[in-house]
Chains A and B, each alone.
Chain A
């Protein structure tokens, strides 16, 4: 038996195990969200009570499943709804901006020549790479000037002009054949007509994948709201992070599950586009 054969025997098992490890967090959160307060306390006591002896234990499935914490979160925690709504507002605003402003920009970069195009596109790529912290001070300066500190606009506007979606959609639009545009032009179509009737339909996969990638990114917004939003009633769900204490461990699990649901929904319904979007960033046509 040579190495390749051994590898072929081991790899499926290894991959199956890894898949379990990768997806286990979802099961873990679900299990925890269905446990009662007493059961959670039994298992998690060492994490939140420093004096407790022994280790955390866990079960694959809850011993006494209950929806008590879901009811509690949905009925008695108004601030959770405020944050959920804030998240929807922020993500919705940002993604709408990406479609309205980023899509035409990507089309312009992909299909037309204009002065300084190459330089501008390299600047876009450099800006895309910058971590938030590097541009934190410049963002603060500009938001302060426009009095956007502590408003949702102050989170949405800079994110709308993120250059990453332009970079991804650019790759999709590059695949639209020039010949198609030329024949449309000969038939008398103007640039806007070409954009709406050829560009958008042919690049729709790119637009959807940008929305999926963008949703997963902005649903997890941490640094921007933490830096620029001072009032907690403006915070998005991603900052709703209750400490694990004996009183609210259940709520922590349930809120995690509720935050997870939209992300998983977008992930599952957009998985093919997600794959296309990732691939588009790698393959230069």
Chain B
């Protein structure tokens, strides 16, 4: 009997692998093995292809463009992700109540996901151009002008895409595009909290604010980790808009790691790009393992 049971398990083991195998083969051929080749290349010289140890990594760290790009990317992530997470939490807590048409509202927030990047770029040009709609509105708006607000020399002449505001435009694009996605994630987390906990708290006379901080937030903790990671995943995609609006060399406040990789790739700086790719993947691996560990604890 025992032998039979064991062979049964063995059978299942191979079955699982059989289902995964086509995908795994492709992943190895197209992603994993070539990436290992990149890891190898990160220790080789660009032209001579001889072993240079950590020299490429040192070059990358000393590179001004890398520091600028890494700094901007970190700043972008540090500004955007908390902002996105808090804003979407705020909206989804509100939508959680008996709001009429909350499904419609959620879908309206998701619409930007469906708008092609190229169309967004067309709109951004008209909006954020030096003589674009936003400046036109600001300069001509009687409400602001009458109260002497926001006026002065040069007001309404801001070139949004070619000054430090470019970074703000990037943040706005990210929020606009991703808030719907996150509202749905939060709503799912909120819906998973059993109503009975709320009822018990209300019986004890707890107020709304107290309930939010004592019950809602702690119960959302496991969802927060996933939301943070998916927000990070989506934050890399903002490059598409940035690239199509401003090209290879945008204003330096929005020069991201992706721009740098692109430019190194075009210049065939294979040594630098390999080392930088390894560095970025180490950061990502660290984040994923942290997440897995925390979610594992929650189970």
Contacts and interface: CB of A to CB of B under 8 A. Distances in A.
Contact of B273 (A18, A104, A137): A137
Contacts of B298: 284
B14 A114 contact: yes
Interface stretch (A21-29, A60-68, A74-82, A88-96): A21-29
A4 B231 CA distance: 29
Contacts of A55: 131-133, 135-136, 139-140, 156
B129 A141 contact: no
Interface of A is mostly: helix
B54 interface: no
Contact of B123 (A22, A28, A191): A28
B250 interface: no
Contacts of B122: 29, 241, 244, 252-253, 256
Contacts of A11: 94
B114 to A, nearest CB: 4
Interface residues of A, number: 97
A271 B16 contact: no
Given A22-B176, A134-B280, A279-B184, A108 B16 contact: yes
Instruction: In the A-B complex, list the 9 residue pairs whose CB atoms are closest, starting with the nearest.
Output: A112-B16, A55-B136, A108-B19, A105-B23, A46-B131, A138-B34, A133-B261, A161-B26, A131-B236
Interface of A: 4, 7, 11-12, 15, 18-19, 22-23, 25-26, 28-29, 44, 46-47, 52, 54-58, 100-102, 104-105, 107-109, 111-115, 117, 120, 122-142, 157-158, 160-161, 163, 166, 191, 195, 216, 219-220, 222-223, 227, 237-241, 244, 252-253, 256-257, 259-260, 263-264, 266-267, 271, 274-275, 278-279, 281-284
Interface of B: 9, 12-20, 22-24, 26-27, 29-35, 37-38, 41, 91, 94-95, 99, 104-123, 125-126, 129, 131-133, 135-136, 139-140, 156, 176, 180-181, 184-185, 188-189, 192, 208, 222-223, 226-227, 229-230, 232-233, 236-237, 239-240, 243-244, 257-258, 261-262, 265, 270, 273-274, 277, 280-281, 284-285, 287-289, 292, 295, 298-299
